[in-house]
Amino acid sequence: MSQQPSTPDPALTTLVGLAAFTELAAFGLLASRSVDAPDLPVRQTLATAAGDALGRQGRLLALVVGPGADGAAEAMAPFDGALTDFDARTTPSTWAEGLLKSVVGLGVAQDLCRELAAGLPDGGAGFAAAVGEPRTDDPATAVLAAAATADDVLSSRMALWGRRVVGEALGLVPVLLAAHAPLAALASHAREGEPDGGATVQAWLVSRLTAEHTRRMDRLGLAA
Amino acid sequence: MSQQPSTPDPALTTLVGLAAFTELAAFGLLASRSVDAPDLPVRQTLATAAGDALGRQGRLLALVVGPGADGAAEAMAPFDGALTDFDARTTPSTWAEGLLKSVVGLGVAQDLCRELAAGLPDGGAGFAAAVGEPRTDDPATAVLAAAATADDVLSSRMALWGRRVVGEALGLVPVLLAAHAPLAALASHAREGEPDGGATVQAWLVSRLTAEHTRRMDRLGLAA
Protein backbone atom coordinates (compact mmCIF):
# COMPACT_ATOMS: atom_id res chain seq x y z
CA MET A 1 0.00 0.00 0.00
CA SER A 2 2.54 2.57 1.12
CA GLN A 3 5.08 4.13 -1.19
CA GLN A 4 7.67 5.24 1.38
CA PRO A 5 11.16 3.71 1.40
CA SER A 6 10.92 0.38 3.25
CA THR A 7 13.55 1.41 5.83
CA PRO A 8 13.56 5.18 6.36
CA ASP A 9 16.51 6.51 8.39
CA PRO A 10 15.33 6.76 12.04
CA ALA A 11 16.77 10.29 12.25
CA LEU A 12 14.81 11.25 9.12
CA THR A 13 11.63 9.82 10.68
CA THR A 14 12.14 11.95 13.81
CA LEU A 15 12.97 15.09 11.83
CA VAL A 16 9.96 14.62 9.54
CA GLY A 17 7.77 14.17 12.64
CA LEU A 18 8.95 17.52 14.00
CA ALA A 19 8.67 19.30 10.66
CA ALA A 20 5.21 17.84 9.94
CA PHE A 21 3.98 18.79 13.40
CA THR A 22 5.16 22.38 13.04
CA GLU A 23 3.59 22.64 9.56
CA LEU A 24 0.30 21.43 11.08
CA ALA A 25 0.66 24.12 13.75
CA ALA A 26 1.37 26.72 11.05
CA PHE A 27 -1.72 25.53 9.17
CA GLY A 28 -3.80 26.16 12.30
CA LEU A 29 -2.34 29.61 12.94
CA LEU A 30 -2.74 30.75 9.33
CA ALA A 31 -6.23 29.28 8.97
CA SER A 32 -7.35 30.97 12.19
CA ARG A 33 -6.13 34.33 10.87
CA SER A 34 -7.96 33.59 7.61
CA VAL A 35 -11.20 33.04 9.50
CA ASP A 36 -11.06 36.47 11.18
CA ALA A 37 -9.26 38.31 8.36
CA PRO A 38 -10.24 41.95 7.78
CA ASP A 39 -11.35 41.43 4.17
CA LEU A 40 -12.01 38.74 1.56
CA PRO A 41 -8.70 39.02 -0.37
CA VAL A 42 -6.67 38.60 2.85
CA ARG A 43 -8.99 35.81 3.96
CA GLN A 44 -8.33 33.98 0.70
CA THR A 45 -4.59 34.71 0.77
CA LEU A 46 -4.16 33.25 4.25
CA ALA A 47 -6.36 30.24 3.49
CA THR A 48 -4.08 29.51 0.54
CA ALA A 49 -1.00 29.95 2.76
CA ALA A 50 -2.53 27.48 5.25
CA GLY A 51 -3.13 25.06 2.38
CA ASP A 52 0.52 25.45 1.33
CA ALA A 53 1.62 24.44 4.86
CA LEU A 54 -0.51 21.29 4.54
CA GLY A 55 1.01 20.59 1.12
CA ARG A 56 4.54 20.76 2.55
CA GLN A 57 3.43 18.57 5.45
CA GLY A 58 2.07 15.96 3.06
CA ARG A 59 5.27 15.85 0.98
CA LEU A 60 7.37 15.57 4.16
CA LEU A 61 5.27 12.74 5.60
CA ALA A 62 5.45 10.87 2.28
CA LEU A 63 9.21 10.51 2.93
CA VAL A 64 8.56 8.21 5.88
CA VAL A 65 4.93 6.98 6.04
CA GLY A 66 2.11 5.93 3.74
CA PRO A 67 -0.91 8.15 3.06
CA GLY A 68 -3.66 8.71 5.64
CA ALA A 69 -4.17 10.44 8.97
CA ASP A 70 -3.11 7.47 11.11
CA GLY A 71 0.44 7.22 9.77
CA ALA A 72 0.73 11.00 9.87
CA ALA A 73 -0.39 11.13 13.49
CA GLU A 74 2.00 8.32 14.43
CA ALA A 75 4.94 10.16 12.85
CA MET A 76 4.03 13.40 14.67
CA ALA A 77 3.10 11.74 17.99
CA PRO A 78 6.55 12.25 19.62
CA PHE A 79 6.01 16.00 19.25
CA ASP A 80 2.36 16.14 20.33
CA GLY A 81 2.19 18.88 22.95
CA ALA A 82 5.66 20.24 22.09
CA LEU A 83 4.23 23.69 21.34
CA THR A 84 1.78 23.93 24.26
CA ASP A 85 4.10 26.04 26.45
CA PHE A 86 5.16 28.12 23.46
CA ASP A 87 1.50 28.82 22.64
CA ALA A 88 0.70 29.71 26.24
CA ARG A 89 3.62 32.19 26.34
CA THR A 90 2.77 33.78 22.99
CA THR A 91 -0.99 34.26 23.08
CA PRO A 92 -1.57 37.07 20.60
CA SER A 93 -3.73 40.01 21.68
CA THR A 94 -4.47 41.25 18.14
CA TRP A 95 -4.98 39.81 14.68
CA ALA A 96 -1.65 41.20 13.46
CA GLU A 97 0.18 39.67 16.45
CA GLY A 98 -1.40 36.32 15.62
CA LEU A 99 -0.26 36.54 12.03
CA LEU A 100 3.27 37.62 12.99
CA LYS A 101 3.42 34.69 15.40
CA SER A 102 2.67 32.34 12.50
CA VAL A 103 5.33 33.93 10.29
CA VAL A 104 8.05 34.03 12.98
CA GLY A 105 7.20 30.71 14.64
CA LEU A 106 6.91 28.79 11.38
CA GLY A 107 9.99 30.55 10.03
CA VAL A 108 12.16 29.51 12.97
CA ALA A 109 10.78 25.96 12.85
CA GLN A 110 11.46 25.64 9.12
CA ASP A 111 14.97 27.05 9.51
CA LEU A 112 15.67 24.66 12.40
CA CYS A 113 14.51 21.64 10.40
CA ARG A 114 16.54 22.69 7.37
CA GLU A 115 19.70 23.07 9.49
CA LEU A 116 19.14 19.67 11.12
CA ALA A 117 18.45 18.04 7.74
CA ALA A 118 22.01 18.96 6.71
CA GLY A 119 23.13 16.30 9.22
CA LEU A 120 21.30 13.50 7.33
CA PRO A 121 23.34 11.05 5.21
CA ASP A 122 22.16 12.77 2.00
CA GLY A 123 23.01 16.22 3.38
CA GLY A 124 19.31 17.10 3.50
CA ALA A 125 18.64 16.88 -0.24
CA GLY A 126 15.51 14.70 0.11
CA PHE A 127 14.15 16.88 2.88
CA ALA A 128 14.82 20.07 0.93
CA ALA A 129 13.09 18.66 -2.15
CA ALA A 130 9.98 17.96 -0.06
CA VAL A 131 9.72 21.41 1.56
CA GLY A 132 10.93 23.42 -1.42
CA GLU A 133 13.10 26.51 -1.39
CA PRO A 134 12.67 28.91 1.55
CA ARG A 135 10.21 31.56 0.34
CA THR A 136 11.20 35.17 0.77
CA ASP A 137 7.90 36.41 -0.65
CA ASP A 138 5.33 34.44 1.31
CA PRO A 139 1.83 35.99 1.31
CA ALA A 140 1.56 36.37 5.10
CA THR A 141 4.80 38.37 5.08
CA ALA A 142 3.46 40.61 2.34
CA VAL A 143 0.21 41.24 4.28
CA LEU A 144 2.13 42.12 7.45
CA ALA A 145 4.76 44.25 5.70
CA ALA A 146 2.01 46.31 4.06
CA ALA A 147 0.30 46.87 7.43
CA ALA A 148 3.57 47.79 9.18
CA THR A 149 4.63 50.24 6.47
CA ALA A 150 1.34 52.08 6.79
CA ASP A 151 1.41 52.48 10.58
CA ASP A 152 4.47 53.44 12.68
CA VAL A 153 2.83 52.59 16.00
CA LEU A 154 1.82 49.14 14.76
CA SER A 155 5.31 48.72 13.34
CA SER A 156 7.05 49.27 16.70
CA ARG A 157 4.54 47.10 18.54
CA MET A 158 5.09 44.35 15.98
CA ALA A 159 8.87 44.63 16.32
CA LEU A 160 8.53 44.13 20.08
CA TRP A 161 6.16 41.21 19.58
CA GLY A 162 8.49 39.62 17.03
CA ARG A 163 11.32 39.69 19.62
CA ARG A 164 9.03 38.05 22.15
CA VAL A 165 7.97 35.28 19.76
CA VAL A 166 11.48 34.56 18.47
CA GLY A 167 12.82 34.45 22.02
CA GLU A 168 10.28 31.81 22.97
CA ALA A 169 10.85 29.89 19.72
CA LEU A 170 14.65 29.82 20.17
CA GLY A 171 14.14 28.78 23.79
CA LEU A 172 12.46 25.62 22.48
CA VAL A 173 15.55 24.50 20.54
CA PRO A 174 17.58 23.12 23.49
CA VAL A 175 14.40 21.56 24.91
CA LEU A 176 13.75 19.70 21.64
CA LEU A 177 17.36 18.56 21.26
CA ALA A 178 17.45 17.34 24.86
CA ALA A 179 14.18 15.40 24.49
CA HIS A 180 14.96 13.81 21.10
CA ALA A 181 18.41 12.25 20.79
CA PRO A 182 18.15 11.77 16.99
CA LEU A 183 17.70 15.54 16.60
CA ALA A 184 20.75 16.24 18.80
CA ALA A 185 22.75 13.78 16.68
CA LEU A 186 21.61 15.52 13.48
CA ALA A 187 22.67 18.87 14.93
CA SER A 188 26.13 17.49 15.71
CA HIS A 189 26.54 16.02 12.22
CA ALA A 190 25.34 19.26 10.63
CA ARG A 191 27.79 21.23 12.77
CA GLU A 192 30.72 19.07 11.58
CA GLY A 193 30.32 20.32 8.06
CA GLU A 194 30.63 23.95 9.14
CA PRO A 195 33.80 26.04 9.58
CA ASP A 196 33.24 28.19 12.74
CA GLY A 197 34.95 25.90 15.21
CA GLY A 198 34.64 27.62 18.60
CA ALA A 199 30.94 27.52 19.44
CA THR A 200 29.04 24.63 20.99
CA VAL A 201 26.50 22.88 18.74
CA GLN A 202 23.60 24.66 20.43
CA ALA A 203 25.22 28.10 20.30
CA TRP A 204 26.08 27.53 16.63
CA LEU A 205 22.50 26.48 15.84
CA VAL A 206 20.90 29.39 17.70
CA SER A 207 23.24 31.86 15.99
CA ARG A 208 22.24 30.48 12.56
CA LEU A 209 18.54 30.72 13.43
CA THR A 210 18.96 34.24 14.80
CA ALA A 211 20.66 35.39 11.61
CA GLU A 212 17.79 33.98 9.52
CA HIS A 213 15.30 35.66 11.84
CA THR A 214 17.01 39.04 11.33
CA ARG A 215 16.62 38.62 7.55
CA ARG A 216 12.95 37.66 8.07
CA MET A 217 12.26 40.79 10.13
CA ASP A 218 14.03 42.89 7.46
CA ARG A 219 11.65 41.50 4.84
CA LEU A 220 8.77 42.46 7.14
CA GLY A 221 10.17 45.98 7.49
CA LEU A 222 10.46 45.44 11.26
CA ALA A 223 13.39 45.96 13.64
CA ALA A 224 14.71 42.54 14.70
CA MET B 1 -1.54 35.00 -17.86
CA SER B 2 -4.89 33.40 -17.07
CA GLN B 3 -5.98 30.01 -18.37
CA GLN B 4 -9.73 30.34 -17.95
CA PRO B 5 -12.10 30.31 -20.94
CA SER B 6 -12.06 33.82 -22.42
CA THR B 7 -15.83 34.27 -22.06
CA PRO B 8 -17.20 32.24 -19.14
CA ASP B 9 -21.00 32.04 -18.97
CA PRO B 10 -22.17 34.82 -16.59
CA ALA B 11 -24.39 32.33 -14.75
CA LEU B 12 -21.39 30.00 -14.32
CA THR B 13 -19.37 32.90 -12.93
CA THR B 14 -22.08 33.66 -10.36
CA LEU B 15 -22.52 30.01 -9.40
CA VAL B 16 -18.75 29.51 -9.05
CA GLY B 17 -18.61 32.61 -6.86
CA LEU B 18 -21.22 31.12 -4.53
CA ALA B 19 -19.65 27.67 -4.51
CA ALA B 20 -16.13 29.04 -3.95
CA PHE B 21 -17.32 31.26 -1.12
CA THR B 22 -19.06 28.37 0.65
CA GLU B 23 -15.98 26.15 0.21
CA LEU B 24 -13.89 28.93 1.82
CA ALA B 25 -16.39 29.03 4.68
CA ALA B 26 -16.18 25.24 5.01
CA PHE B 27 -12.38 25.50 5.06
CA GLY B 28 -12.64 27.92 7.99
CA LEU B 29 -15.12 25.76 9.93
CA LEU B 30 -13.12 22.56 9.44
CA ALA B 31 -9.77 24.21 10.15
CA SER B 32 -11.14 25.74 13.35
CA ARG B 33 -12.29 22.32 14.55
CA SER B 34 -8.87 20.94 13.61
CA VAL B 35 -7.20 23.57 15.82
CA ASP B 36 -9.19 22.53 18.91
CA ALA B 37 -9.57 18.84 18.05
CA PRO B 38 -9.48 16.37 20.95
CA ASP B 39 -6.46 14.41 19.65
CA LEU B 40 -3.77 14.45 16.98
CA PRO B 41 -5.39 11.96 14.53
CA VAL B 42 -8.64 13.98 14.47
CA ARG B 43 -6.67 17.22 14.23
CA GLN B 44 -4.86 15.85 11.16
CA THR B 45 -8.05 14.40 9.65
CA LEU B 46 -9.91 17.71 9.85
CA ALA B 47 -6.91 19.70 8.59
CA THR B 48 -6.87 17.41 5.55
CA ALA B 49 -10.64 17.88 5.10
CA ALA B 50 -10.14 21.66 5.23
CA GLY B 51 -7.40 21.32 2.62
CA ASP B 52 -9.80 19.30 0.43
CA ALA B 53 -12.32 22.18 0.60
CA LEU B 54 -9.60 24.55 -0.61
CA GLY B 55 -8.73 22.12 -3.40
CA ARG B 56 -12.34 22.06 -4.63
CA GLN B 57 -12.46 25.85 -4.35
CA GLY B 58 -9.33 26.18 -6.50
CA ARG B 59 -10.68 23.86 -9.22
CA LEU B 60 -14.00 25.75 -9.24
CA LEU B 61 -12.36 29.17 -9.48
CA ALA B 62 -10.16 27.92 -12.34
CA LEU B 63 -13.37 27.57 -14.40
CA VAL B 64 -13.83 31.35 -14.43
CA VAL B 65 -10.73 33.25 -13.24
CA GLY B 66 -6.94 33.04 -13.39
CA PRO B 67 -4.81 31.98 -10.43
CA GLY B 68 -4.23 34.23 -7.41
CA ALA B 69 -6.15 35.66 -4.49
CA ASP B 70 -7.34 38.81 -6.30
CA GLY B 71 -9.33 37.02 -9.00
CA ALA B 72 -10.66 34.60 -6.40
CA ALA B 73 -11.80 37.43 -4.15
CA GLU B 74 -13.42 39.23 -7.09
CA ALA B 75 -15.38 36.11 -8.07
CA MET B 76 -16.57 35.60 -4.49
CA ALA B 77 -17.22 39.29 -3.74
CA PRO B 78 -20.97 39.19 -4.60
CA PHE B 79 -21.37 36.68 -1.75
CA ASP B 80 -19.14 38.38 0.82
CA GLY B 81 -21.22 38.55 3.99
CA ALA B 82 -23.85 36.10 2.68
CA LEU B 83 -23.27 33.75 5.63
CA THR B 84 -23.03 36.37 8.39
CA ASP B 85 -26.66 35.96 9.55
CA PHE B 86 -26.41 32.18 9.19
CA ASP B 87 -23.29 32.16 11.37
CA ALA B 88 -24.89 34.41 13.97
CA ARG B 89 -27.93 32.08 14.18
CA THR B 90 -25.86 28.89 14.36
CA THR B 91 -23.08 29.69 16.83
CA PRO B 92 -22.03 26.27 18.13
CA SER B 93 -21.73 25.77 21.88
CA THR B 94 -19.54 22.64 21.68
CA TRP B 95 -16.82 21.23 19.45
CA ALA B 96 -19.16 18.54 18.07
CA GLU B 97 -21.82 21.15 17.24
CA GLY B 98 -19.21 23.15 15.36
CA LEU B 99 -18.17 20.11 13.35
CA LEU B 100 -21.78 19.13 12.58
CA LYS B 101 -22.41 22.69 11.43
CA SER B 102 -19.59 22.33 8.92
CA VAL B 103 -20.89 18.97 7.66
CA VAL B 104 -24.53 20.09 7.37
CA GLY B 105 -23.86 23.64 6.18
CA LEU B 106 -21.30 22.62 3.57
CA GLY B 107 -23.46 19.67 2.55
CA VAL B 108 -26.51 21.84 1.86
CA ALA B 109 -24.37 24.41 0.03
CA GLN B 110 -22.76 21.74 -2.16
CA ASP B 111 -26.13 20.14 -2.92
CA LEU B 112 -27.60 23.56 -3.79
CA CYS B 113 -24.74 24.36 -6.17
CA ARG B 114 -24.97 20.94 -7.82
CA GLU B 115 -28.73 21.37 -8.39
CA LEU B 116 -28.24 24.86 -9.82
CA ALA B 117 -25.37 23.66 -12.06
CA ALA B 118 -27.87 21.34 -13.79
CA GLY B 119 -29.38 24.54 -15.26
CA LEU B 120 -26.14 25.48 -17.06
CA PRO B 121 -25.87 24.94 -20.85
CA ASP B 122 -23.67 21.87 -20.32
CA GLY B 123 -26.05 20.42 -17.73
CA GLY B 124 -23.46 20.98 -15.01
CA ALA B 125 -20.81 18.61 -16.39
CA GLY B 126 -17.93 21.12 -16.08
CA PHE B 127 -18.99 22.12 -12.59
CA ALA B 128 -19.34 18.49 -11.50
CA ALA B 129 -15.89 17.66 -12.86
CA ALA B 130 -14.40 20.46 -10.76
CA VAL B 131 -16.04 19.51 -7.46
CA GLY B 132 -15.92 15.74 -7.95
CA GLU B 133 -18.50 13.18 -6.91
CA PRO B 134 -20.43 13.88 -3.70
CA ARG B 135 -18.58 12.01 -0.96
CA THR B 136 -20.60 9.73 1.26
CA ASP B 137 -17.57 8.82 3.37
CA ASP B 138 -16.06 12.20 4.23
CA PRO B 139 -13.77 12.19 7.26
CA ALA B 140 -15.73 14.75 9.29
CA THR B 141 -18.84 12.56 8.93
CA ALA B 142 -16.88 9.52 10.11
CA VAL B 143 -15.59 11.40 13.18
CA LEU B 144 -19.09 12.59 14.10
CA ALA B 145 -20.77 9.26 13.43
CA ALA B 146 -18.29 7.51 15.73
CA ALA B 147 -18.96 10.04 18.50
CA ALA B 148 -22.75 9.81 18.11
CA THR B 149 -22.78 6.00 18.11
CA ALA B 150 -20.88 5.97 21.39
CA ASP B 151 -23.13 8.43 23.23
CA ASP B 152 -26.96 8.46 23.13
CA VAL B 153 -27.27 11.84 24.85
CA LEU B 154 -24.84 13.43 22.40
CA SER B 155 -26.69 11.71 19.58
CA SER B 156 -30.06 13.30 20.44
CA ARG B 157 -28.48 16.70 21.04
CA MET B 158 -26.75 16.46 17.68
CA ALA B 159 -30.00 15.48 15.94
CA LEU B 160 -31.65 18.60 17.38
CA TRP B 161 -28.69 20.77 16.39
CA GLY B 162 -28.69 19.32 12.86
CA ARG B 163 -32.34 20.33 12.44
CA ARG B 164 -31.50 23.84 13.62
CA VAL B 165 -28.58 24.18 11.19
CA VAL B 166 -30.41 22.73 8.20
CA GLY B 167 -33.40 25.00 8.89
CA GLU B 168 -31.19 28.07 8.80
CA ALA B 169 -29.33 26.80 5.73
CA LEU B 170 -32.54 26.10 3.78
CA GLY B 171 -33.84 29.53 4.84
CA LEU B 172 -30.92 31.06 2.94
CA VAL B 173 -31.97 29.53 -0.38
CA PRO B 174 -34.81 31.96 -1.23
CA VAL B 175 -32.64 34.86 0.00
CA LEU B 176 -29.81 33.88 -2.36
CA LEU B 177 -32.14 33.33 -5.33
CA ALA B 178 -33.84 36.68 -4.72
CA ALA B 179 -30.54 38.56 -4.46
CA HIS B 180 -28.83 36.91 -7.48
CA ALA B 181 -30.96 36.74 -10.64
CA PRO B 182 -28.50 34.40 -12.45
CA LEU B 183 -28.98 31.83 -9.67
CA ALA B 184 -32.78 32.11 -9.91
CA ALA B 185 -32.51 31.61 -13.69
CA LEU B 186 -30.33 28.51 -13.17
CA ALA B 187 -32.91 27.11 -10.73
CA SER B 188 -35.68 27.61 -13.30
CA HIS B 189 -33.66 25.91 -16.05
CA ALA B 190 -32.73 23.03 -13.76
CA ARG B 191 -36.40 22.64 -12.79
CA GLU B 192 -37.46 22.36 -16.47
CA GLY B 193 -35.52 19.14 -16.85
CA GLU B 194 -37.38 17.51 -13.97
CA PRO B 195 -40.70 15.62 -14.02
CA ASP B 196 -42.59 16.67 -10.85
CA GLY B 197 -44.74 19.41 -12.34
CA GLY B 198 -46.78 20.84 -9.50
CA ALA B 199 -44.31 22.54 -7.18
CA THR B 200 -42.86 26.03 -7.55
CA VAL B 201 -39.15 26.25 -8.35
CA GLN B 202 -38.29 27.11 -4.76
CA ALA B 203 -40.46 24.37 -3.25
CA TRP B 204 -38.94 21.87 -5.69
CA LEU B 205 -35.41 22.96 -4.81
CA VAL B 206 -35.97 22.89 -1.05
CA SER B 207 -37.55 19.42 -1.28
CA ARG B 208 -34.49 18.13 -3.20
CA LEU B 209 -32.12 19.62 -0.60
CA THR B 210 -34.19 18.24 2.28
CA ALA B 211 -34.08 14.74 0.80
CA GLU B 212 -30.30 14.93 0.48
CA HIS B 213 -30.07 16.22 4.05
CA THR B 214 -32.06 13.23 5.31
CA ARG B 215 -29.56 10.89 3.61
CA ARG B 216 -26.70 12.88 5.17
CA MET B 217 -28.16 12.55 8.68
CA ASP B 218 -28.67 8.81 8.06
CA ARG B 219 -24.96 8.49 7.27
CA LEU B 220 -24.23 10.32 10.53
CA GLY B 221 -26.52 7.93 12.41
CA LEU B 222 -28.66 10.89 13.49
CA ALA B 223 -32.43 11.46 13.26
CA ALA B 224 -33.09 14.04 10.51
Q: What is the mean pLDDT of chain B?
A: 92
Residue range B32-52: average pLDDT? 96
Out of B41, B43, B50, name the one closest to residue A70 (CB). B41
Which domains are assigned to chain B? Answer: 10-220 (1.20.1260.10)
The pLDDT score that the predictor gives to residue A196 is 65
Out of A51, A54, A73, name the one closest to residue B40 (CB). A73
pLDDT in tens, A138-184: 889 999 998 888 889 999 999 999 999 999 999 999 999 999 999 99
Query: In the predicted model, is pLDDT for residue B3 greater than 60?
Result: no
C-beta atoms of B45 and A77 within 8 A = no
Chain B CA closest to residue A71: B41
CA distance A195 to chain B (A): 40
The pLDDT score that the predictor gives to residue B12 is 96
The pLDDT score that the predictor gives to residue A59 is 96
pLDDT in tens, B47-94: 999 999 999 999 999 999 988 888 899 999 999 999 999 999 999 999
The pLDDT score that the predictor gives to residue A67 is 81
Which residues in chain A are contacts of B80 at CB distance < 8 A?
40
Out of A31, A44, A76, name the one closest to residue B72 (CB). A44
C-beta atoms of B41 and A139 within 8 A = no
Q: A124 near A71, Cβ under 8 Å? A: no
The pLDDT score that the predictor gives to residue A197 is 63
Residue range B151-164: average pLDDT? 94
C-beta atoms of B34 and A45 within 8 A = no
CA distance B137 to chain A (A): 14
Please give the residue that has the higher pLDDT: either A185 or B135: A185
When pLDDT is cut at 50, 70 and 90, the band that residue B138 belongs to is: confident
Out of B32, B40, B77, name the one closest to residue A40 (CB). B77
CA distance B51 to chain A (A): 6
Residue range B120-136: average pLDDT? 89
Ranges under pLDDT 70 in chain A: 1-7, 196-197
The pLDDT score that the predictor gives to residue A8 is 75
Which residues in chain A are contacts of B76 at CB distance < 8 A?
40, 44
Task: Supply the DSSP symbol for B78.
Answer: G
Which residues in chain A are contacts of B32 at CB distance < 8 A?
31-32, 35
In this prediction the ipTM stands at 0.92
When pLDDT is cut at 50, 70 and 90, the band that residue B2 belongs to is: very low
